[in-house]
Structure 1
Amino acid sequence: MVAFLSRRAGMAAAAAALIAFAAFGPVSSGSSPKSFVKSTVKAHDVVIFSKSYCPYCRRAKAVFQELHLKKQPYVVELDQREDGGEIQDALLDIVGKRTVPQVFINGKHLGGSDDTVEAYESGKLAKLLNIDVKDDL
């Protein structure tokens, strides 16, 4: 009886894991990585395709922390997804680059880390986000 319950509990845990995987796992079989990128960019004001360990990605994300936005960017950490490589391939098709980070503002591609920092320093990023940035002078 104990062995039966253990197997049954194991099956329940496996079913729960499968449900969680379906909700948070890779792009579903009905959706391509390219459509995932496009729908994610469309659904959020700021999207950063990133890798958690990448110093350039950290640099781009830090720019948005500096801005103290009311709504934080939506970050897709590709190294934490089974389909991260496929999403990077889709980024190559969409923006012509497979490198990370890739930043999108209001549905438009801004670029990578250097582009993001440059846009921040020039004031372009604040304009794109329609925010006021206080000058420390």
Structure 2
Amino acid sequence: MAFAIVSLSGQASHIKFVDHRFHLGRAVGYQYDIVCETESPGEIIDEYVASKPIVLFSRTNCPPCKKLKAALKTFKLTEKDFLDIDLVKRRDLPVRAIHAEFGTRYGSVYTPKLFIGGRFVGGKETLKMFRNGELAKLIKKALASKHH
């Protein structure tokens, strides 16, 4: 998110961020113009998905997320190949809006959401794919195509 605060009176101000929304602290009698450019939740998801071959949206307190993270660790993925966006820790993101976008796009608002090679693979059902070897094939293919 990019923003600018312009004080019509020349006085300084402060911003408090709360779940990607912000509140302007201001003294009585001062006026401010706020210019804010915010990406849509869909754009945020798309940018992260395009940034690495393997992208996981997760939550710290989510049991299926913990299991999927443990499964993904067995592939010894590097930071250049794998990104985990923990929506509990990322207070700079519009978490509720991202969950709503998950529901619209993928039929479920819940995490985990795993993307491989820019495509949505699934949620907690990807653990079954890990056990039957299908996940390994998708990861190998995504990493091979990235290096060519």
TM-score scaled by length of structure 2: 0.64
Partner of residue 109, structure 1: 120
What letter matches 1:33 in structure 2?
P
Residues 78 and 85 in structure 1, CA contact (< 8 A), matched pair in contact too: no
C-alpha distance in structure 2 between counterparts of 1:67 and 1:43, whole Å: 19
Partner of residue 138, structure 2: 128
Q: State, as a whole percentage, how many aligned pairs show the same letter.
A: 26
Taking the TM superposition and a 5 Å limit, the aligned residue runs for 1:25-64 are 26=20, 29-64=37-72
Q: CA deviation at 1:29?
A: 3.4
Which structure has the highest strand share of the two? 2
Partner of residue 89, structure 2: 80
C-alpha distance in structure 1 between counterparts of 2:20 and 2:114, whole Å: 20
C-alpha distance in structure 2 between counterparts of 1:105 and 1:26, whole Å: 27
Gaps of 5+ in 1: 1-10, 132-137
SS at match of 2:55: strand
TM-score scaled by length of structure 1: 0.69
C-alpha distance in structure 1 between counterparts of 2:59 and 2:122, whole Å: 15
SS at match of 2:88: helix
Gaps of 5+ in 2: 1-11, 22-35, 142-148
Which structure has the highest helix share of the two? 1
